[in-house]
Amino acid sequence: DAPHQQARWYDGDRYEPLLDEKSTDTVTVESSLPDDLTREELTLPDLSEPEVTRHYTRLSQMNYGIDSGPIPLGSCTMKYNPAFTEDVAAHPGNRVHPLRTDEDKQGILGLLYELQETLATVGGMDAVTLQPPAGAAGEFTGIQVAKAYHEANGEGERSEVIVPESAHGTNFASAAMAGYDVVELPSNEDGRVAVDALEAAAGEDTALLMLTNPNTLGLFERDITEIADIVHEAGGLLYYDGANLNSLLGKARPGDMGFDVMHFNLHKTFATPHGGGGPGQGPIGVSADLAPFLPTPQVREADGGYETYEPDHSIGRVHEFMGNWLVLVKAYAYILRHGDVGLERISETAVLNANYLAERIEYEVPYGPFHHEFVASADEDAADVAKAMLDHGVHPPTTKWPEIVDEALMTEPTETESKARLDDLAAAFNAVAATDPEDLAAAPNETTARRIDQADAARNPRLSWHALDDT
């Protein structure tokens, strides 16, 4: 028997039927409004609470989360989300409308202040905004702040953002969204930034270098001081992508390395649940020079309490209110729970776990030594490896990226996996490595659905239940 057979509800040629396939009603809309303002009828699923409960109970059983088992997706930092933070987030004191006066939301402002100060300390930054509603939104915000800074300094002509080839896709997209041209920086043979290439690339057009450190290969950019000097001498700024910050807690701070702007992925480093894709939250930290450009509002102490204010040269807003508040609350609770000692233990264990797992697996693992993650190279199609791993009761790593490694298996176990679970992961890797390629291609067999033809789904897009009626 397989280590895990996922639950499956099945009905004809589909699994759990869609809500609208269970029971749908078309109601004639009656309203005190005049007819020309209202729709005539509305057709939606019409289920009792028992049926709603069963629908989502079943769907949840057909879904895999950290609460089911490990999810070693590289750079995603899928660590355990402490249950108590949900209760903190459900506390009635969170039910505060954002348009209350400062005086009437001192609890909210107090938490915002404490968290922004804490993040500034952790990042080695001078000021922090908590507003961006996701990591990519944080990138965009940070770039806009940097851009505003350059413009205020009469350097608005700088048009390029330099991004290493192994960087997260969001770096490229965020830079483009802010109107920059992206200059891709090659890696050197040891997987790190090619300093000579950077020297060639950096110049009067350089607005920003965006860097993840440790990078997506799990390698610390040892030349970070030299890199910072090159960029700064060219008049550019350094942006730190916080996706991999988990491995630096208590050990190093982006601000100390020369970074001028950074974002934090609270849902990664500070373990707020990923919720199937969000919400996240991407605060940014900046050096003192950039602080006047931060989004509005900022929070500061005043008269024994807290007040909001608009920084002198604020870029304005990147979210209508304060982003995903609940993520902020949970992250703050998480930090308070751990304290200095706990936070340093996180990074130490995350790095130990990654190195231990790298030792235990039989696939080739180029580069090293690793921090929080490593990238193994599959002998066969990495996507097939991933599908086969699903049958071993674990979630597979990120596949085929970064492209710098052939058939990459980018693996980040995080600190919350026990040795037993790391051994499970290693066993899964190694069992798959020993599996006949044909069997790999037939996997997975124990998941709710068998292998899904994604190319076909994209060729023939059916994106709502309305589209299913046509076929």
Task: List contacts with a second copy (CB under 8 A).
Answer: 1-11, 22-23, 48-51, 53-54, 57-58, 61, 66-69, 80, 82-83, 393, 416-418, 420-421
Are 272 and 152 a contacting pair, CB within 8 Å? no
* Cβ 22 to a second copy shortest distance, Å: 7
For 373, list phi and psi in degrees, rounded to 5.
-150, 165
Question: Shortest approach of a second copy to residue 15 CB, angstroms?
Answer: 9
If the CB atoms of residues 363 and 401 are measured against other proteins, the closer one turns out to be 401
Enumerate residues 41-60 that contact other proteins by CB under 8 A.
42-53, 55-60
> Does residue 162 touch other proteins according to CB under 8 A?
no
Q: Using CB distances below 5 to 8 A depending on partner kind, what does residue 64 bind out of other proteins, a second copy, none? A: other proteins
Considering only residues 79 through 118, tell me which ones interact with other proteins, judged by CB under 8 A: 79-84, 86-100, 104-108, 110-111, 114, 118
Rounded to the nearest angstrom, the gap between the alpha carbon of residue 408 and the centroid of all alpha carbons in its chain is 19
Which parts of 274-293 interact with other proteins (CB under 8 A)? 274-280
Cα distances from 342 to residues 251, 331, 334, 415, in angstroms, run 12, 14, 10, 11
Amino acid 227 reads: I
What distance in Å separates the CA atoms of residue 401 and residue 189, rounded to the nearest whole number?
17
What secondary structure letter does DSSP report for 414? -
CB nearer a second copy, residue 23 or residue 460: 23
Give dist(CA 241, CA 284) in Å, integer.
Answer: 10
Please calculate the CA angle 253-186-238 and round it to the nearest 5 degrees: 30
Rounded Cα distance between 86 and 26, Å, is 37
Nearest to 321 by CA among 151, 99, 166: 99
CA–CA distance, 269 with 263 (Å, rounded to integer): 11
Q: Which stretch binds other proteins (CB under 8 A): 193-201, 229-237, 431-439, 460-468?
A: 460-468
Task: Return the H-helix or E-strand segment holding 101.
Answer: none
Please report whether residue 164 would count as binding other proteins according to CB under 8 A: no
Dihedral-angle region of residue 23 (phi above 0 means left; psi in -120 to 50 means alpha; beta otherwise) = beta
Name the minimum Å distance from CB 447 to other proteins: 4
186 binds other proteins (CB under 8 A): no
Cα separation, 449 vs 188, whole angstroms: 41
For residue 183, the minimal CB distance to a second copy (Å) is 41
Q: Does 195 bind other proteins (CB under 8 A)?
A: no
> Which of the listed partners (a second copy, other proteins, none) does 348 bind, with a CB threshold of 5 to 8 Å by partner kind?
other proteins
Phi and psi at 193, nearest 5°, equal: -55, 130
Is 392 one of the binding residues for other proteins (CB under 8 A)?
Answer: no
Q: Is 192 exposed, middle or buried (0-12, 13-18, 19+ CB in 10 A)?
A: buried
**Residue 216, contacted partner among a second copy, other proteins, none, CB below 5-8 A by kind:** none
Cα–Cα distances in Å, from 353 out to 368, 382, 389, 411, 418? 14, 22, 19, 11, 9
| 3-state secondary structure (DSSP) of residue 284 | strand
210-229: which residues touch other proteins (CB under 8 A)?
A: 219-220, 222, 224-225
Rule CB under 8 A: is residue 257 a binding residue for other proteins? yes
Verify binding: residue 453, other proteins, rule CB under 8 A: yes
* Stretch near other proteins under the rule CB under 8 A, chosen from 193-201, 202-210, 373-381, 452-460: 452-460
Give the Cα-Cα-Cα angle 341, 113, 237 (nearest 5 degrees): 85
Among 73, 146, 238, 388, binds other proteins (CB under 8 A): 73
Smallest distance from other proteins to CB 407, Å: 16
323 binds, among a second copy, other proteins, none (CB under 5 to 8 A by kind): other proteins
Q: Nearest approach, Cβ of 433 to other proteins (angstroms)?
A: 18
Residue 202 C-beta: closest distance to other proteins, Å: 19
| 208, two tokens | 């920003």
- What's the DSSP call for residue 313? T
Which residues have CB under 8 Å from 326's CB, separation 6+? Answer: 89, 94, 272, 279
Asked if 197 touches other proteins (CB under 8 A), the answer is: no
Shortest CB 234 distance to other proteins, Å = 20
How far CA 470 is from CA of 18, 159, 454, 460, 461, in Å, comes to 16, 47, 19, 11, 12
Q: Which residue's CB is nearer to other proteins, number 172 or number 194?
A: 172
Task: Name the segment binding other proteins (CB under 8 A); options: 169-177, 198-206, 232-240, 431-439.
Answer: 169-177
Q: Which does 5 bind (CB under 5 to 8 A by kind): other proteins, a second copy, none?
A: a second copy
The helix (H) or strand (E) run that includes residue 210 is strand 206-212
Q: Which stretch binds other proteins (CB under 8 A): 152-160, 195-203, 283-291, 411-419?
A: 411-419
As measured in angstroms, the least distance from the Cβ of 240 to other proteins is 12
User: Binder to other proteins among 262, 396, 410, 429 (CB under 8 A)?
Assistant: 396
430 binds, among other proteins, a second copy, none (CB under 5 to 8 A by kind): none
